[in-house]
Structure 1
Amino acid sequence: MKNKLCFFLMIFCLSHLGFSQDRFVIQNKRNSDRVKFKLINNLVVIPVEVNGVTLSFLLDTGVSKPMIFNFLNISDTLEIKDTETIYLRGLGGEQSVEALRSRNNVFKIGDAVKLNQDLYAIFNTNLDLAPRLGIPVHGIIGFDLLKDLIVQINYSTQTIKLTDPEVFTYKSCRDCETLNLEFHNNKPYINALVNTNRQNVVVKLLIDSGSSDALWLFENDTIEVKKESDFFYDFLGHGLTGSVYGKRAKLEALSLKKFKLKDVNVSYPDAESVFHAQKIKDRDGSLAGNILKRFNITFDYQNAKITLRKNKYFRDKFSYNRSGIELAHQGSRLVQEVDKSARKKENLIQEDSQNSFRLDRNLDYKIVLKPAYVIVELRENSPAQRAGLQINDLLLSINGKSTYQYSLQQIIEKFYAEDGKKIKLKIERDGRILNYSFHLEKLF
């Protein structure tokens, strides 16, 4: 009979499982390799080959063993074996979810290969990351890769360099800062300095590349938002066992040694959503993708340090969703579009006796499947909600242009535009076509 275990964990994080005797080995003479990645909503998505099947994984510093989310869709092609049933619980207020723990899997990332890799296959189809990111994402990987190799993330070129620690050498870099890492349950933490309530506070933060936000802080007597005019309540993200809500605000500054970021986005998640996360001694929050992407980063887990060098994103302003709309890619819809591959037919047609002519273009059309973007969260009293939009509305066009011509990320970016920007949406609701408009609003 399969053993049933219960794990409690942070978002996309597993409890301590120890170092495996097996490790990632780079199979080339250079002992190093570069892998291209996609930067989607501040998140790093890399190609990972699992048992001979190429998948897309999120690189998440907050996870121990790899996890596959849309397991039911890919289980026929993956040879998953040596399994046992476990239950996982994470951020969000819902119950734990069922998963399979599988051993003896082969993982390949570029030229880096590991045999006998453990992974966790999640049954719950609601935990598929693809709808929120707009591209196929099958799972997440973190500690097992980072502990074996020096991992350098270049957000500017969207490449990851993997190097055997035995051949890696540090180059002199006056523009860099190196910080010490502290590990709890195989997850990396650093100390930072935040300016809150007109005082500087040293905080201990989880490095969480699996979150697209900027900074999360846990409220206490020192770290809190005191005036309602300084924050708004919002959807913060989707955890392993449910949605996470809390306050969004601004910090005057965040400092990582000599690097100082000003007017930083900060979120304060509800206490019930981060109950288990707060059990880590002295933990004050998380440092996430919208800050990490502003640096090119070298992770050196074996020496417990991280090196930062600011890049082209460093001075980008911190913005936020001023519309109140959260979108997800939900299936497809049928769209009629011009068939550009077909030959155009042009005829001159006489319209009246005065020899007036018009050019008639007989275009060929085709019916194709295009992504369907649906509202899945709507902030209370937001411009979009006051305008009359509702959850489950299907977006057909934005500012006069069909939504299928955009990626999900491109549409969401329009909701982060400047204060006062007008947004016009055509939506479908219960078979009806409706038009709405609103202006983006500055909230603090």
Structure 2
Amino acid sequence: MKPLTSAIKLTCLKFLVAIMAFLLTLEAGYTQTFQFSGTRQKDAINFLLIKNLIIIPVYINERGPFNFILDTGVGPMIISDPALTDSLKLKDLRVIKIAGLGKGNEIEAFVSRSISARVGKSSIDQIPTAILKEDLFRLSGYVGMPIHGLLGYHFFKSFIVDVKYSSKRLVFFLPDLNRKIKGERIPLEMINDKPYAIVNIESSELGNIPIKVLIDNGASHAISLEILNEKPFPVPSASIPANLGMGLGGPISGNIGRTSTLKIGEFSLKKVLTSFPKYDEVAGKILLKDRNGNLGADVLSRFDIVFDYGDNSMYLRRNSNFKRPFEHDMAGMEVYADGPDIDHYFISRIEPNSPAELSGLEPEDEIVYINFVPATGFTLTEVNRILRAGDGKSVIITVLRQGQLHIKLLKLKQRI
């Protein structure tokens, strides 16, 4: 099956529908936290940063390491690769149904209370876990390396967590260590094990308004705006239709535009790429109606951030990426990785009237050469960087289609 990439929300907007019943059932009476053994109070590990997503090694039931996305937007741990169910020989599994975000129907997942997890020198027993029965999101194809799941709330609530995006280093320590935290404090409101904050946006249509957003470093986009005054968030006139990714139940469509100014604390960001998913595919299915949207990693990765859930706060320090321009795909096509080593690249979708469509590229084409260099010599990150190289730049793409090679000239265009 063709991988389902997810530009707006790798983690399928995180079980926002029907998850309350799941959490109440699964976590009643469970207050486990990650803990260090002995007198240790602090640890640090390196992480990979791909498409703004933090990927860390996690050991499950003392096996691994497995690649997990560290994600403030998830409550229970999620195993997205169902093959782990067999390899870990998991027992005491029961089935639940989860309503999805998108155009499809509900999906099924397993629930387990018999899973332990270890990150660095910290570990937790009986961590609440959902295991997808089908690899719906194809996270490996989206990221370009094997991805086995997502880890969030139970790790963040256990420590004060310093996410050093600038050095790709994760430092986590017990609150009792009483270290001085640097940066501007941003108050958080914890709702259903997820952090929310108030930010301000400014646009020519709306003026300057405060909005409530989920702080979600497991979403690769910059910001997604869904609801305003219990109605669909107004889409700016300067926007383009887009496939925004996958929900639990199917594709999420909408528009992409720009927010002229996004202010979080004392920090202001300009011309921020903004997703506007269709109301009935996202906002209409969200239980929490008083949130306006979702602040993702394309914004958060411009800071080094300390999360202190115990104090309902996060602390921001701008890093070297702060002034990086917000750039959308200039080709109008989505590329995913596949094959035994996840190093073969295919086109999953093409936007109407985009440079990719005008060049004659088609969905399911395999990209075999880029500027006459074998595509297998590039990482998926490098491929996507080439497709955002700059307005007016040309890229020569050689694709394999039904056993024949086709050479196409792709002229990039800044569409928004």
Q: TM-score, normalised by structure 2?
A: 0.90
CA distance in 2, matches of 1:376, 1:67: 25
Residue type of the alignment partner of 2:190: F
Alpha-carbon contact 2:225-2:276 (below 8 Å) kept: yes
Partner of 1:191: 198
Residue type of the alignment partner of 2:415: L
Partner of 2:374: 402
Instruction: Tell me by how many angstroms 1:382 deviates.
Output: 0.6
Instruction: Tell me by how many angstroms 1:241 deviates.
Output: 2.3
Alpha-carbon contact 2:212-2:291 (below 8 Å) kept: yes
Partner of 2:67: 56
CA distance in 1, matches of 2:12, 2:138: 17
Partner of 1:327: 335
Partner SS, residue 383 of structure 2: helix
CA distance in 1, matches of 2:38, 2:401: 55
Partner SS, residue 127 of structure 1: coil
Alpha-carbon contact 1:396-1:428 (below 8 Å) kept: yes
| Corresponding position: 1:103 with 2:113 | yes
| Corresponding position: 1:318 with 2:329 | no
Alpha-carbon contact 1:196-1:223 (below 8 Å) kept: no
Mapping for residues 380-395 of structure 1, pairs under 5 Å: 380-395=352-367
Partner SS, residue 117 of structure 1: coil
Mapping for residues 90-239 of structure 1, pairs under 5 Å: 90-171=100-181, 173=182, 176-197=183-204, 199-218=207-226, 220=228, 223-227=233-237, 230-239=238-247
Partner of 2:92: 82
Partner SS, residue 384 of structure 2: helix
Partner of 2:37: 27
- Uncovered stretches (5+) of structure 1, i.e. residues with no partner: 1-8, 333-368
Residue type of the alignment partner of 1:58: I
CA distance in 1, matches of 2:33, 2:342: 41
Instruction: Tell me by how many angstroms 1:44 deviates.
Output: 0.5
Which of 263, 274, 277 is 2:271 aligned to? 263
| Corresponding position: 1:300 with 2:308 | yes
Q: Tell me whether 25-34 or 315-324 shows the greater mean CA deviation.
A: 25-34
CA distance in 2, matches of 1:277, 1:178: 32
CA distance in 1, matches of 2:38, 2:119: 13
Instruction: Tell me by how many angstroms 1:138 deviates.
Output: 0.2
Instruction: Tell me by how many angstroms 1:276 deviates.
Output: 4.8
Alpha-carbon contact 1:294-1:312 (below 8 Å) kept: yes
Alpha-carbon contact 1:51-1:79 (below 8 Å) kept: no
- Identical aligned pairs, as a percentage? 29
Which of 246, 249, 264 is 1:241 aligned to? 249
Alpha-carbon contact 1:181-1:188 (below 8 Å) kept: yes
Instruction: Tell me by how many angstroms 1:306 deviates.
Output: 0.8
Instruction: Tell me by how many angstroms 1:400 deviates.
Output: 1.4
Partner of 1:347: none
CA distance in 2, matches of 1:226, 1:79: 50
CA distance in 2, matches of 1:75, 1:30: 32
Residue type of the alignment partner of 2:213: L
CA distance in 2, matches of 1:157, 1:20: 35
Partner SS, residue 76 of structure 1: helix
Partner SS, residue 268 of structure 1: strand
Partner SS, residue 20 of structure 1: coil
Residue type of the alignment partner of 2:201: V
| Cα distance change of structure 1 residues 276 and 83 upon mapping to structure 2, 3 Å threshold | farther
| Corresponding position: 1:428 with 2:400 | yes
Residue type of the alignment partner of 1:63: V
Instruction: Tell me by how many angstroms 1:277 deviates.
Output: 5.5
Residue type of the alignment partner of 1:11: L
Instruction: Tell me by how many angstroms 1:278 deviates.
Output: 4.4
Partner SS, residue 254 of structure 2: strand
Higher relative strand content: 1
If asked which structure has higher relative contact order (CA below 8 Å, sep 6+), I would say: 2
| Cα distance change of structure 1 residues 305 and 319 upon mapping to structure 2, 3 Å threshold | same
| Cα distance change of structure 1 residues 205 and 400 upon mapping to structure 2, 3 Å threshold | same
Partner SS, residue 381 of structure 2: helix
Residue type of the alignment partner of 2:278: D
Alpha-carbon contact 2:394-2:409 (below 8 Å) kept: yes
| Corresponding position: 1:68 with 2:79 | yes
CA distance in 2, matches of 1:154, 1:112: 19
Alpha-carbon contact 1:26-1:163 (below 8 Å) kept: no
Partner SS, residue 409 of structure 1: helix
Mapping for residues 267-286 of structure 1, pairs under 5 Å: 267-276=275-284, 278-286=286-294
Alpha-carbon contact 1:328-1:408 (below 8 Å) kept: yes
Instruction: Tell me by how many angstroms 1:94 deviates.
Output: 1.1
Alpha-carbon contact 1:24-1:145 (below 8 Å) kept: yes
Equivalenced residues, count: 394
Residue type of the alignment partner of 2:37: Q
Structure (1 or 2) with the larger CA radius of gyration: 1
Q: Deviation string for 1:192-231 (max 9, x for gaps)?
A: 000022510100000111110001012547952342xx11
Partner of 1:365: none
Higher relative helix content: 2
CA distance in 2, matches of 1:182, 1:277: 21
Residue type of the alignment partner of 2:203: T
Alpha-carbon contact 1:65-1:118 (below 8 Å) kept: yes
Partner SS, residue 343 of structure 2: strand
Residue type of the alignment partner of 2:292: D
Instruction: Tell me by how many angstroms 1:144 deviates.
Output: 1.2
Q: Deviation string for 1:310-340 (max 9, x for gaps)?
A: 11111111111010110111215xxxxxxxx
Q: Tell me whether 77-86 or 212-221 shows the greater mean CA deviation.
A: 212-221
Partner SS, residue 272 of structure 1: helix
Alpha-carbon contact 2:371-2:397 (below 8 Å) kept: yes
